[in-house]
Structure 1
Amino acid sequence: MLKDGVYTETEKGQMSDVTVEVTLGNNTIETVKILEENETPGIGDIALERIPQAIIEKQSVEIDTVSGATVTSQAILSAVKKVLEKANE
């Protein structure tokens, strides 16, 4: 059972730290927002858009990374995974 709340976590991306805000409610991932990043424009942007959306749709961090933006994708996934671990304690 996940504890409801808004959680923030930061992970190292390709070019910068990526800070993610995750809102949990009713045992679901309600939102995943990128609060701060300075990743490569045009490349990292794709992961910054697609990965949060995929996490919400699948309610999981077990999703494919974005080709060409693997490190950025992994940073987002890792941050959300840490949030889920914290919320499950």
Structure 2
Amino acid sequence: MKNQKQNGNVPGQTLNGIILAKDEEFYDTAELKIMFKTSDSTLSRWRKKGELPFIKPAGKIFYPKSFFNDTLLERSLQELKKPQKK
């Protein structure tokens, strides 16, 4: 599902350390619950701990896709750099 929300952010503005692009796309809570097979309470806990950047325009929570793309890419590269077990 493609969510592109007008969030009032300007290019280069940061959200919890993540630089947002002008055309930043976002996941909503339902999409993250499916992707990570998790619950509302787990997502809430991660938000409170500062582990997930989010915005909340008009009461609905959205998460920047770039955070997940960058984080998953970084973790994949770290896995590739680990020595192979024989």
Give the TM-score taking structure 2 as reference length.
Answer: 0.32
Higher helix proportion, which one? 2
Relative contact order, higher structure (CA 8 A, sep 6+): 1
Give the TM-score taking structure 1 as reference length.
Answer: 0.32
Higher strand proportion, which one? 1
Larger radius of gyration: 2
